[in-house]
Structure formats: C-alpha cells, structure tokens
C-alpha cells in the first residue's frame, strides 16, 4: 500500500487526532511500520500507551475502514502532506492539515488573490449591504473568497462570489457527508458542483464543537489577509483572527454601529491594530502592494 493511502487510513482510524498523527509521522516518516507490526511493536515504534496500541492495531486490521476509505477516495478528492499538489500555501502555516478531503475545483487552491472572510452567524441588517459593497467588486475582479459555510456572514460571503460569477472556497468543521448546518445543504451542493469545499475530517465525521476553531486556521491560511465583516468580542471570528496573526497575515475589520454587539469585535480589533476598511479599493491596493512578496512566498 502506498504511503499516502497509509496516511489516509491512519487519519480515519485515529479520527483525525493530529497530535498523535504528527508524533507517528515524526517517528516513522514513511509509515513503513504501520501495517506490518504487532501491537507491541506499534507501542515501541510510536511510543504509545499499551491499551492505545492494542486498539490501534485492531482498528488498522478492520476491513470496514479500508472499504470506507476506498469509497471515499472514489467520491472525493484527497490531498495529503505527501502529495506534490498539496497546497503550498498551507505548508507554511503552523500545524498544517495532514489530510484534506475536497469536493469541486482543486484549481481554486492556486488561484490568487484569495481573501479569508469571516463574521458572526447572526449578522445585523446592515451586513448584506456591507458584503455587497466590499465583496462584490472583489469577486467580479476574480478574487477567491474563502470562508466557513456557517450561517450568517460565511454563507453571505459565498453567495457574493456565486452571484458575481467569482470563485469561493468553503472550509468545513465536519466531514463532506455530514453538512453543518443542515440548512446549508443546497449551498454545499452548489459549491461542490462549481466551486470548492474542503475538510480535514473524513467524510462521515460528525461536527464537534472543537472542530470549528481548528478549521479556522485553514480559512485564514488560504487567504493573503483576513477580513472581518461583523463579529462579537467573544466569537469564532476572533479565533480566525488569532490564527491569521500567528500566520503573519494582515487582518482588516469593518467599523459599524457602536451600539450593536455584532460590531464590537471589529471595533476591538481596530483598537488592537487591525486595518480599518471603508471601501474595496483599499483591499485592491493592499494586494497590489503585497502580491510580489506573496506570490514569491507560494
């Protein structure tokens, strides 16, 4: 079995536990010992607790996992850290995903500029106008809009790209067969058919609360900057901002009504040093100013 397939199998068996996978890869970069070792050898090779090694040994031998993996590989694109077409842009972020499942157009991963757009699931009435004013020109100019397909701002950002015949990438906090929220099934179908949907979780994996902060590092990682449309002070958008800053990316926020909690996070970011955005030309100028450095980087 080729090493990328061994990694996909390990990813499924471990249900995406990145720290364990990272340790195993550090000790066995080609995963040569994965399928031909006893549980005791797995324990020694990979420095695992005995009970965990026993479970891992039996799971790796379970035929249903391999059958499910074969089905998934026929249904979706798979990208692993072993692959030449793994997105270079993600190789440079802290804690890059080891495995990605994808539906749609993989070429969007190398189409630039890409901008990460995030915000609250419960936007104000003014949010639609903000998105139309700022994102419609970018989408029409060929920019790729990256977001998380959540309710609210995320979904509105994807729709901005679609209505302007632009490009958009959605990064999910669940597997590609477990769409969350369920109300976005139609949006998922549209994106999978003509855009791109990514997940670092295997296709049948249900969403869990900790998945969403995890996936945010991929959203910020795919863009040359992150734009926050509306956000509360304590929100998932703030997690994306933290990831963007950790990745050395610029963060921009839109000011709004000071009496609305949905804009309080934006005002806090601006106070902390984020760029303040009033019109789309600022983002176009930002790209022109930074694109030579950015394209050299990737």
CATH assignment at residue 160: 3.40.50.450
CA-to-CA distance for 126 and 240, rounded, in angstroms? 22
Q: Residue 201: helix, strand or coil by DSSP? A: coil
pTM above 0.85, yes or no: yes
Number of domains in the chain: 2
| Domain ranges, residue 55 | 3-75
Does residue 157 share a domain with residue 25?
no
Regions in the chain scoring below 70 on pLDDT: 297-298
Does residue 125 share a domain with residue 18?
no
> DSSP characters for 60-113?
HH-HHHHHHHHHHHHHSEEEETT-TTS-HHHHTSSS--SEEEEEE-GGGGG-S-
Does residue 266 share a domain with residue 135?
yes
pLDDT digits (tens, 9 = 90+) for 192-234: 999 999 999 999 999 999 999 999 999 999 999 999 999 998 8
Residue 80 inside a domain? The answer is no
Residue 265 inside a domain? The answer is yes
Q: Looking at residue 217, what is its pLDDT?
A: 98
Does residue 104 share a domain with residue 70?
no
CA-to-CA distance for 215 and 221, rounded, in angstroms? 10
């Amino acid at each position: 079995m080729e090493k990328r397939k061994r990694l996909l199998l390990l990813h499924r068996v471990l249900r995406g536990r990145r720290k364990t996978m990272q340790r195993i890869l550090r000790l066995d970069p080609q995963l040569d010992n994965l399928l031909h070792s006893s549980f005791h050898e797995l324990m020694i090779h990979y420095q695992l607790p005995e009970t965990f090694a026993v479970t891992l040994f039996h799971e790796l031998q379970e035929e249903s996992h391999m059958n499910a993996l074969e089905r998934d590989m026929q249904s979706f694109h798979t990208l692993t850290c072993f692959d030449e077409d793994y997105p270079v842009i993600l190789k440079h972020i802290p804690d890059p995903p080891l495995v990605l499942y994808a539906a749609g157009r993989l070429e969007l991963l190398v189409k630039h500029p890409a901008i990460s757009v995030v915000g609250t699931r419960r936007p104000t009435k003014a949010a639609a106008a903000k998105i139309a004013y700022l994102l419609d020109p970018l989408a029409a100019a060929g920019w790729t809009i990256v977001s998380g397909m959540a309710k609210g701002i995320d979904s509105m950002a994807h729709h901005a790209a679609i209505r302007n015949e632009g490009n958009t990438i959605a990064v999910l906090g669940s597997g590609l067969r477990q769409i969350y929220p369920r109300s976005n099934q139609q949006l998922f179908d549209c994106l999978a058919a003509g855009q791109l949907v990514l997940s670092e979780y295997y296709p049948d994996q249900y969403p869990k609360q900790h998945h969403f902060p995890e996936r945010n590092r991929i959203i910020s990682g795919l863009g040359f900057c992150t734009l926050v449309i509306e956000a509360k002070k304590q929100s998932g958008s703030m997690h994306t901002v933290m990831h963007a800053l950790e990745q050395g990316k610029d963060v921009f926020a839109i000011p709004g009504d000071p009496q609305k909690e949905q804009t309080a996070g934006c005002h806090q970011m601006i106070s902390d040093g984020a760029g303040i955005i009033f019109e789309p030309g600022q983002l176009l100028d930002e790209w022109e100013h930074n694109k030579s450095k950015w394209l050299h980087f990737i």
